[in-house]
A and B are shown apart, each in its own frame.
Chain A
Amino acid sequence: MRTEGGGALRWALVGPTLLLLVAFNVFPLAYNVFLSFTNAELVGEGARSVGGANYARVFDDPLFAAALRRTALFVVVAVGVELVIGFGLALALKRDFRGKAFVLTTLLVPMMLSPAVMGLYWSLILNGNYGLLNQVLAGLGLGEPQWLTDRDLKFWSIVLVDVWMWTPFMMLIALAGLSSIPPSIYEAAAIDRAGAWTTFRRITLPLCAPLLGLAVLLRATDALKQFDLVMAITGPNDGGTQTLSALLYQIVFRDGKVGLGSAYAILVLVVVMALATVFTRYVDRLRGAEAVR
């Protein structure tokens, strides 16, 4: 068998992918960089170069700083809570019991639904006047918090929905991690008189950590671009919930400032790329660790 294909065959095989990559990744990125140095608008006259003015504005923009802080808070809190609850659920569901398959399937449902649709549903549930949650709370005499309009609450409402949606994902990965630990290690620990806490801290946690780390990275990159829930629950231009993606959307598609928005996008890209580097390094290290096992 020939291992070295002819030039023509090689290009025929790789060509389509390359073409798609250039059309949908390389060109848009290059064009975005170009736009970020102009004052292009969504509708209107041709763009003129403005030099680095857009970037200068980004750094002066209190909205950008606030969105950056808010997004970071969102990533840390939402992913953190998802990790803790998801891991806890996985520990609780590790053992076999009757109806386990049913419970697992039920728990996984939120993850499979469309975020935009779930955002709409939750905005119905959380609605301050006629929402299901407040009807229940009012019935119990616990008051009627304005989940979606209260300045201090609406951000947390979005965190809540994100946690509801993505905790199952953490649980699933944690379960995979738990089931990969050989039972004999636990038996050895039992014979060694290790208590429940020691067993958890010295065996369960370290052996699950690589997979959990992977799950956290996956979720963090995803949470970083949080958009659909914000869009569906409060809209993109809400001072209390505006994430980076929502801010970008607002500038480019509502305000029509394509040039300025492109500069924002480039900066967001830098942040994402930094995270992606951490991500790939981590995956490489995992693979390295796997190889010596």
Chain B
Amino acid sequence: MSAPENREAFVRPPALELRGVTKRFGAGASAGRGARALDGVDLVLGEREFLVVLGPTGAGKTTLLRTIAGLETPDAGSVALHGRDARALAPADRDVALVFQNFSLYPSATVRENLAFPLAAPARRLSRAEIDERVAWAAKLLHVERLLDRPAKKLSGGEMQRVAIGRAIVRRPKLFLMDEPLTNLDAKLREELRVELRELARELETPVVWVTHDQAEALTMADRVALLVDGRIVQTGTPEDVYARPNSPLAARELGTPPMNLFDVERKDERWITADGVELARADAGAPERATIGVRPEHVLLDGGPSDAVVHVVEDWGPSRVLFAHVGAHALHVLAPRDCALRAGDRFRPTFDVRRVVVWPRA
């Protein structure tokens, strides 16, 4: 992986640095066999950076967070927090806050007690007044003031999530770890909290590792996105980087709804042609002979192209329409304007916006 982009990293050690972290589970895990949840993960997080780890279910996202928090011990590799080797540190000594996907509040305790709990540890030596002040601060920030005396088990999902986040922020940790914190909430609340939490992280000037399978969260919240697939980081970069310039077909498949169109092609002169002879787009003279090309659905125009396509289904997505079509035997997704008149069964000649086509050489 490349060196940390963050300039501060050169003066101060990064907030978090993972090198070659590997974790196996299941039968024979200790003997080096077993299913690999994490496979040589490298990750660097700068001060104040908001990193979103995006990946499908089962990619190892939760294991990654648990390893950073110290709830799991990696089988190989190193974890350093602010330049300190964290492998010997217990979860309590890492000064990280983990927000669990299932909230994990203390159900019989009130909201106030839940918020005060992390501050009550004797090692913190906080006075009653300081604790009250911090609880009040967190409650105000997350709009749960009127719930303070309610038992946690009587809260709604959104309220529970706010309290869970509140429990994480009261003690002002050095690092936030968020495990799909918005997944269990309804869409409206999710959007609201997305904005609020992004603001909050900025205000607190604390770095965040945010794990999710929701692309919208990744693209809207992240300073940097890390794509995690099958326990490996396949690409890291700004949202713009990973969206516009995926570094591999694997990375391309992870991001985008509808997904990026991918074709295995060969170059004949200045044209991209599939193995079964369908001409797709113009190619640069210097492009590789054999390649996989990718084009986002919004970069496909509806006429002027070299081959015929047939529309199978048209979905109404509100501001736009999505055409599920075939060009030759190959599936093609097109994001069309709302006033697009094409209907199922219609033919059109798709043109790829060649400036936006991504090309990966193929052996």
Alpha-carbon distance A83/B333, docked complex (angstroms): 65
- The segment from B34-42, B121-129, B299-307 that touches chain A is B121-129
Which of A145-153, A180-188, A211-219 contacts its partner? A180-188
Contact with B along A233-267 (1 / 0, CB 8 A): 00000000000000000000000000000000000
B71 interface contact, C-beta 8 A: yes
CB distance from B154 to the nearest CB of A (A): 6
Residues of chain B with a CB closer than 8 A to A198's CB:
120-121
- Docked Cα-Cα span, A193 to B167, in Å, equals 12
A209 — nearest CB in chain B belongs to which residue? B108
Pairwise interchain contact A206-B153, C-beta atoms closer than 8 A? no
CB distance from A23 to the nearest CB of B (A): 45
Q: Closest Cβ of chain B: how far from A124's Cβ, in Å? A: 46
Pair B104/A194 contact, Cβ less than 8 Å: no
A191, B106: Cβ atoms closer than 8 Å: no
A276-293: CB near B (< 8 Å → 1, else 0) gives 000000000000010011
Closest to A290 in B: B153
At the interface, yes or no: B118 with Cβ under 8 Å from chain A? yes
Is A192 part of the contact surface with B, judged by Cβ < 8 Å?
A: yes
Complex-state Cα separation, A207 to B104, whole angstroms: 13
Q: How far is the CA of A289 from the CA of B96 in the complex (A)?
A: 33
Total number of B residues with any Cβ neighbor in A under 8 Å: 30
Tell me how far the C-beta of B291 lies from the nearest C-beta in chain A, rounded to whole angstroms. Answer: 46
B117 located at the interface, meaning its Cβ lies under 8 Å from any Cβ of chain A in the complex: yes
Question: Complex: how many Å from CA A187 to CA B90?
Answer: 11
Partner of A194 from B69, B71, B121, B153 at Cβ < 8 Å: B121
- Given the interface pairs A188-B100, A202-B106, the reply to whether A193 lies near B124 with Cβ below 8 Å is yes
Let me know if B98 is at the binding interface, CB within 8 A: yes
> Among the listed A182, A184, A185, A193, which residue makes an inter-chain contact with B118, where contact means beta carbons less than 8 Å apart?
A193
Q: Assuming A195-B122, A202-B117, A293-B153, is B91 touching A190 (CB within 8 A)?
A: yes
A184 with B104: in contact, given A190-B90, A191-B69, A202-B117 (CB under 8 Å)? yes
Residue among B71, B94, B167 with most chain A CB within 10 A: B71
List residues of A (148-207) whose CB comes within 8 Å of B's CBs.
182, 184-185, 187-195, 198, 202-203, 206-207
Residue B92 is within 8 A (CB to CB) of chain A in the complex: yes
Residues of B within 8 A of A192 (CB): 92, 117-118, 121, 167, 171
- B103-117 CB mask vs A (1 if < 8 Å, else 0) is 011111100010001
Total cross-chain contacts (CB, 8 A): 68
How many A residues face the partner with a CB closer than 8 A?
21
In the assembled complex, the Cα of A207 lies from the Cα of B151 at a distance in Å of 13
- Is B310 among interface residues, defined by CB-CB distance under 8 A? no
Once bound together, how far apart are the Cα atoms of A194 and B153, in whole Å?
Answer: 21
The distance from the CB of B138 to the nearest CB of chain A, in whole angstroms, is: 14
B154 x A191 contact (CB < 8 A): no
Which residues of chain B from 73 to 111 have a CB within 8 Å of any chain A CB?
Answer: 90-92, 94, 96-98, 100, 102, 104-109
| Shortest Cβ distance from A186 into B: residue | B104
Please state if A191 and B91 are interface contacts (CB–CB under 8 Å).
yes
Query: Chain A residues near B104 (CB, 8 Å)?
Result: 182, 184-185, 187-188
Name the residue of chain A whose CB is nearest to the CB of B93.
A193
Question: Are A293 and B107 within 8 A (Cβ)?
Answer: yes
A194 to B117, CA, bound (A): 8
Complex CA–CA separation, A190 to B100 (angstroms): 13
Residues of A within 8 A of B123 (CB): 193
Taking a contact as CB atoms under 8 Å apart, the answer to whether B92 and A190 are in contact is yes
Measured CB to CB, the nearest residue on chain B to A205 is B108
How many Å lie between the Cα of A292 and that of B92 in the bound state?
Answer: 31
Assuming A188-B104, A202-B106, is B92 touching A193 (CB within 8 A)?
yes
Chain B residues whose C-beta falls within 8 Å of the C-beta of A185 in the assembled complex: 104-106
Q: How far is the CB of B122 from chain A (nearest CB, A)?
A: 7
**Residues from chain A with Cβ under 8 Å of B69 in the complex:** 187, 191
From known contacts A184-B100, A190-B92, infer whether A206 and B108 are also in contact, taking CB-CB under 8 Å: yes
The answer on a CB contact under 8 Å between B109 and A191 is no
Nearest residue (CB) in A for B66 is A187
Nearest A residue to B151 via CB reads A292
Q: Is the CB of A191 within 8 A of B108?
A: no
Contacts known (A206-B108, A292-B154, A293-B107); A188 close to B122, Cβ less than 8 A:
no
Bound CA span A189–B92, Å:
9
Chain A residues with Cβ under 8 A from B91's Cβ?
187, 190-191
Which of B97, B105, B113 is in CB contact (< 8 Å) with A191? B97
Residues of the B chain whose Cβ atoms lie less than 8 Å from the Cβ of A189: 106, 117
**A207, B121: Cβ atoms under 8 Å?**
no
Contacts of A195 in B (CB 8 A): 121-122
Using CB atoms, name the residue of chain B closest to A206: B108
Complex Cα spacing A289 to B105, Å: 16
Residues of chain B lying within 8 A (CB to CB) of residue A203: 106
Residues of A within 8 A of B96 (CB): 191
B105: A residues at CB distance < 8 A? 185
Which A residues are within 8 Å of any B CB, using their own CB? 182, 184-185, 187-195, 198, 202-203, 206-207, 209, 289, 292-293
- 3 closest pairs, A vs B, by CB? A193-B121, A192-B118, A206-B108
Could you list some 14 contacts between A and B, CB below 8 A?
A182-B104, A190-B71, A191-B71, A192-B92, A194-B117, A194-B121, A195-B122, A202-B106, A202-B117, A203-B106, A206-B109, A207-B108, A289-B153, A293-B153
- Beyond contacts A193-B92, A292-B154: 7 other A-B pairs, Cβ-Cβ < 8 A, are A184-B102, A187-B71, A188-B98, A191-B70, A193-B118, A194-B92, A292-B153
